[in-house]
C-alpha cells in the first residue's frame, strides 16, 4: 500500500517566522543599548517649550541621541525602547542626523 504524503501545515512556517522576528528584535535591542531616548513634552498645539513645532500627534515624542556615533533626532513611539528600535530600523525616515 502506497501512502500519500500529507501537506505540511502552516504551523512550521509560522514558527520559523516567529523565531526570525524574535531574532531580529533581539538584534535591535542589542544595537539600541548605546542610544538614549528622552521624552519631549509638547503642549496641546504640538509645540515644545523652546517653540519648535512637531504637531499634536497621537503618540509621544522622543528625542534620540547616541554620543558614540553622534546621532540625534526625534521619533514618535509608544515607549522609549520602541523609539530606539524605530530609530535604528529607519534612521533617515525619522530625521536622524549623523554629525
Q: In this predicted structure, what is the pLDDT of residue 60?
A: 93
Name, in order, each residue with C-beta under 8 angstroms of 55's C-beta and a sequence gap of 6 or more.
46
Mean pLDDT of the chain: 78
The predicted-structure confidence for 31-68, as pLDDT tens digits, reads as follows 667 788 899 999 999 999 989 999 988 899 998 887 77
Of 24-28, 52-56, 95-99, minimum mean pLDDT range: 95-99
DSSP string, 51-99: --B----SSPEEEEEETTTTEEEEEE-SSHHHHHHHHHH-TTTTTPEE-
Q: Are strands 36-40 and 71-76 parallel, antiparallel or unpaired?
A: unpaired
Dig out the grid coordinates for 20 from the structure.
526570525
d(CA 85, CA 75): 10
Amino acid at each position: 500500500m502506497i501512502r500519500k504524503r500529507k501537506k505540511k501545515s502552516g504551523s512550521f512556517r509560522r514558527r520559523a517566522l516567529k523565531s526570525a522576528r524574535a531574532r531580529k528584535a533581539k538584534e535591535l535591542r542589542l544595537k539600541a543599548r548605546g542610544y538614549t531616548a528622552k521624552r519631549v513634552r509638547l503642549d496641546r498645539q504640538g509645540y515644545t517649550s523652546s517653540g519648535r513645532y512637531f504637531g499634536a500627534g497621537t503618540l509621544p515624542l522622543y528625542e534620540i541621541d547616541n554620543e558614540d556615533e553622534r546621532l540625534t533626532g526625534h521619533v514618535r513611539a509608544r515607549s522609549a525602547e520602541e523609539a530606539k528600535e524605530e530609530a535604528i530600523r529607519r534612521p533617515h525616515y525619522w530625521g536622524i542626523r549623523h554629525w
